[in-house]
Structure 1
């Protein structure tokens, strides 16, 4: 028995998965057919070749992933723009019914998080995203014909269920093509707040329509855009590197070889119950869930209640909300760009948690201003409201961190699903802190956001501390391992991060 295999058994508590994988193809990653292209015979690829491939991937994948996220962000807040145009009055959303319409979306998302994770593993990824977005667009169009609370609740629950696979699917695509060092920058580019560049002009434009068509047109227009985009995704987004038609066979081998050292694998279509149970028993999973439970409170509150509380006309409010997207984008670029630069130029330092904490402090300071500024200080409160959207940076960093620290395909989709369950619970709860009778200041809602920032800072620090502890424990067992070493008994064997002694966590 080799030293590597003995070490593997020490950390996993039993025989390594290598033997099982040799006899059962279901345990092997889909990338295995290309995994030995450069390890047999000493053949290699140049830095120029890798650079050209990376640009090719960026030009194809990043715009597709960006608009997938942007479309979801645009479509789920259509109710907040519609609320500026008699949406509440026309559909009988008196009292706190509007809050429940906002929460209903996340009930659907919550219910379908785990089933959608299973679907992402079992079905071709790009084709599933295409089908989901096609139906999603039809549901949005149907929302424009709704006339009462019951029909809105049903449609919003369905819309939430349809969005459940989108972001986890995006991160699976990202993990298939990019190394852990490259992912933060692409995550930042993928996750922006630029949906306001669509909702703002559309919201302003519908103000010129007849009164009885204004809010309905918001849903009809965004629904039509989504249907068209579904076709684009079906044509241009690949299911995985092995079946992708826009890259040549040698480029596929290069793409897969680049990911070898990360030990995260590419894809496996066979559901592994052992990996699912490991996701449920991994402390990292629950620390990340707690972080998302708290960091998403600002999202749930601000996206549903920010436009009506500005004190301006309906059309002007839609335009004045556009800078919130700029702040979200700046936060995402700053935090994720900072992570990328530190990984590239300071590789011995781990800074992901530090950048998340920086973003949390920015959001915390702006929320304090929202709580303390006078109600009639429109300019000051507007500026503070803009900066409150800085929570977006830490949120995006944590999504990339979760993907980078999870190996094993079933464990990936399960962990992603659990994190988005926490996200949904947070967004269901958050609007309930914004009590209608407390408008326009919403002191309880602002207090909830302040508390959520403090708790999220605690949880991200605990997550980083656990990663430090686990890495040091692995270093004692696997002292000879380095990030560049090839480990044939674990490469592309669909092992989880917990099973694989050579895996190291980033934080």
Structure 2
């Protein structure tokens, strides 16, 4: 074993001759990643039919569950905006910009718990962490329906943010364990949509019709969505696998086939050993910080539009109930953006495998949002339909945001580095969602010119930060190609397969951009 370790380390050191010196912590080179033990099950190979069937089983069983995972998690982000249509501001005696702080406070909890959530996701089974989070925040949502003043509502929103912080990261880690880097954009686009509004819109419309009871309709909206979250947390505990290794609906050979495919990513499945060298590398990697700023800018519109779009619609002349129902279209536009962006990336990379089109597709799909924001700012207030349509297209940011999540998973190797980067990016997500609502001043309702202007600026800065990220990836790939021609085109890299190396440590790695 010692000779094998030394041989592996020497191979790695040779391949990284011109790269910066990096300390590699070797726990057990053969079994550090949980997927390594399955590779021997396919030493005799497998047929295309077996591969196709295994992938079909993953798509049919995993994608619908992860779509519901994301959609139900997204409901609590819009609970306060729907509740605001039905008297939340009056019942809680909100003054000035206190409603903006209710929108922002959720992300303080997200911010606080990002790094602890990353540690939990590495230390414990992914789905166990996610299931517990769903159940706890469902209970908190129900409690939110009993709040009678500003401070208790702020507390519940902070707690909600804390317990939601592991869920998106958990879902991304599950995706990266089942799919190759080329397959991830399409599946992520199918999972990450704006279709949570198909739940919240009709529920919001329905509760608005019941007024003969001791409580306001907005309270029952919290109770219903909270109950749904609790039920879903229990369901995923039993039915959603964390990785191919513990997937009960795959045979042992099918697990090995999926793991063999994912091996090409050079990102591994999961390692339960925390490595401080990978943590430090994540903090010092300039590409991480370029993407951090992209996440800051692209998520500012989310913070503003999620909390204020129902109030913008109501200000255009529609009733509270119809404003809730019209909000369903927000999700349709987000979904259209997500599917357009991810399908375009999938099609281009399938047709031209060596193309570098992800960043360009993301920028192209930000253009409708940029134009819509300009129209929303400049159209006269009397043009209600034009402003409504412009607001819908302003939600087109979701596609580029989702594509950035697939880029993060594709370009980050080393499990500790991956969970650390996820935490860093969700810190950015939290900060921008805290900032976003603060541009929407109560004194400027219902037009909110400062808020709309901030969204336009955020979209423009998103493009600039993405271009910087693309250039960094391009330069690093050129440097690697000079030392290791071909890179990941080779089928096997025994010196790096399932060794839990980071993207910087692995000279065979190539960045998507």
After TM superposition, the score normalised by the length of structure 1 is: 0.96
Per the alignment, residue 37 of structure 2 pairs with 33
CA distance, structure 1, for counterparts of residue 80 and residue 101 of structure 2? 12
> What is the match of residue 373 of structure 1?
379
Contact 2:290 2:468 in 1 (8 A): yes
Say if 2:16 and 2:506, in contact at 8 Å, map to a contact too. no
What is the aligned partner in structure 2 of residue 233 from structure 1? 236
Deviations 1:126-167 (A, max 9, x none): 111111100110000000000000100000000000100000
Look up the match of 1:261: 264
1:364 and 2:367 aligned: no
Structure 1 ranges of 4+ moved more than 4 A: 1-4, 11-18, 21-25
Matches within 5 A, 1:26-425: 28-38=32-42, 40=43, 43-210=44-211, 212-310=215-313, 311=316, 312-425=318-431
Conserved 8 A contact 1:74-1:196? yes
Cα distance in structure 1, aligned partners of 2:85 and 2:28? 61
The answer to whether the 8 A contact 2:488-2:509 is kept is: no
Q: Residues 328 and 392 of structure 1 are in contact (CA less than 8 Å); yes or no, is this contact kept in structure 2?
A: yes
Within the candidate set 481, 486, 491, 2:492 is matched to 486
Q: Alpha carbons of 1:59 and 1:23: their partners in 2 closer, same or farther (altered >3 Å)?
A: closer
| Equivalent position SS for 2:438 | helix
SS in 2 for 1:319: helix
Check the 8 A contact 1:206/1:214 in 2, yes or no: yes
Q: Could you tell me whether the CA contact under 8 Å between 1:95 and 1:436 is conserved in 2?
A: yes
Which consecutive unaligned segments of at least 5 residues does structure 2 have?
1-6
In 1, Cα distance between the equivalents of 2:23 and 2:16?
6
Alpha-carbon distance in structure 1 between the residues aligned to 2:443 and 2:72 = 32
> How far apart, CA to CA, are the structure 2 residues paired with 1:340 and 1:190?
15
Q: Which residue of 1 aligns with 2:3?
A: none
Contact 1:188 1:333 in 2 (8 A): yes
Deviations 1:406-434 (A, max 9, x none): 00000000000100100110000111101
CA 1:11–1:60: 2 relative to 1, 3 Å: farther
Q: Distance in 1 between matches of 2:209 and 2:22?
A: 69
CA contact (8 A) 1:201 1:319 kept: yes
1:346-397 superposed Cα distances (whole Å, 9 cap, x missing partner): 1121111011101211110000000001112111100001101001111101
Q: Is the 8 A contact 1:84 1:307 kept in 2?
A: yes
CA displacement 1:55-106 (0-9 Å, x = unmatched): 1111111111111111121111100000000110001112110000000000
Partner secondary structure for residue 267 of structure 2: coil
Determine if the alignment matches structure 1 residue 434 to structure 2 residue 440.
yes
CA contact (8 A) 1:35 1:492 kept: no
Report the 3-state secondary structure (helix = DSSP H, G, I; strand = E; otherwise coil) of the residue aligned with 1:210: coil
What CA RMSD, in Å, does the superposition of the two structures yield over aligned residues?
Answer: 1.6
For 1:465 and 1:15, how far apart are their aligned partners in 2? Answer: 23
Task: Report the alpha carbon displacement of residue 320 of structure 1 after superposing the two structures with TM.
Answer: 1.1
Distance 1:14 1:362 in 2: 44
Q: Name stretches of at least 5 consecutive residues in structure 1 with no aligned partner.
A: none
User: Per-residue deviation at 1:17?
Assistant: 4.7
CA distance in 2, matches of 1:72, 1:427: 16
Contact 1:207 1:214 in 2 (8 A): yes
Is 1:465 paired with 2:458?
Answer: no
Q: 1:279 to 1:5 in 2, by over 3 A?
A: closer
Q: 1:117·1:413 contact (CA, 8 Å) conserved in 2? A: yes
The question of whether the paired residues in 1 share the 8 Å contact of 2:488 and 2:510 is answered with no
What secondary structure is seen at the aligned counterpart in 2 of 1:257?
helix
Give per-residue Cα distances to partners, 1:463-494, cap 9 Å, x unaligned: 11111100000000112544233111100010
- Note the alpha carbon deviations across 1:248-299, whole angstroms, 9 max, x for none: 1111110110012211100001111110111100111101110010011110
**TM-score of the superposed pair, with normalisation by structure 2:** 0.95
Q: Secondary structure at the match of 2:40?
A: coil
Task: Name the CA distance, whole Å, in 2 between partners of 1:14 and 1:91.
Answer: 57
Counterpart secondary structure, 2:90: helix
